[in-house]
Structure 1
Amino acid sequence: MKFLSNHQFYILKSEEENFVKNFGKKIREIRIKNMLSQEMHANIPINQVGRLERAEINTTINSVFKLANASHISVKDLFDF
């Protein structure tokens, strides 16, 4: 089992935070492009969409699938950032 130093852990955490932020920006960009409200987007709770866009929470693969379907794009496109 390999342990990470504090410095390595910080870099990983920072990369994860950037990934979540970029994912949130992409969700918002696509939602606005498709003229969808947060409420109508993907039939998931409005507060969840807002929290995803603001990178306050992670999401499930189920929600990613719903977001892609509601936007009429592939799941892969949500991660193109």
Structure 2
Amino acid sequence: MDLKEVMAINLRRVRHHQDLTQEELGALAELSMRYVGSIERGRVSASVSVLGRLAKALNVDPCELIKPLR
């Protein structure tokens, strides 16, 4: 599994755990809902800057979004 897929899975998991919609997360991170959805589907690779914005919006360490689950 590549890092893009790992981030997609982790982002969706954390977002659901916090009971946020893609639209709400996008607003918190100042990103479009469509872009958040594309990241969650693994269609685009998020930049380090976007990773940081998402992590800040979710109040998690950025490493939590790219750490492979075992």
TM-score tier by shorter-chain length is 0.7 to 0.9
Aligned residue identity for 2:47: T
Other-structure match for 1:55: 42
Quote how far apart the aligned CAs of 1:27 are. 0.5
Larger radius of gyration: 1
Is there any run of 5+ residues in structure 1 with no aligned partner, and where?
Answer: 1-14
Q: After the TM superposition, which parts of structure 1 deviate over 4 Å for at least 4 consecutive aligned residues?
A: none
Distance in 2 of aligned mates of 1:19 and 1:75: 13
Other-structure match for 1:44: 31
Contact 2:6 2:67 (8 Å CA) reproduced: no
Q: Give aligned-pair identity as a percent.
A: 22
Distance in 1 of aligned mates of 2:63 and 2:22: 21
How well do the aligned residues superpose, as a CA RMSD in angstroms? 1.2
Considering fraction of residues, name the structure with more helix. 2
Quote how far apart the aligned CAs of 1:19 are. 2.0
Greater length-normalized contact order (CA 8 Å, ≥ 6 residues apart): 2
Other-structure match for 1:73: 60
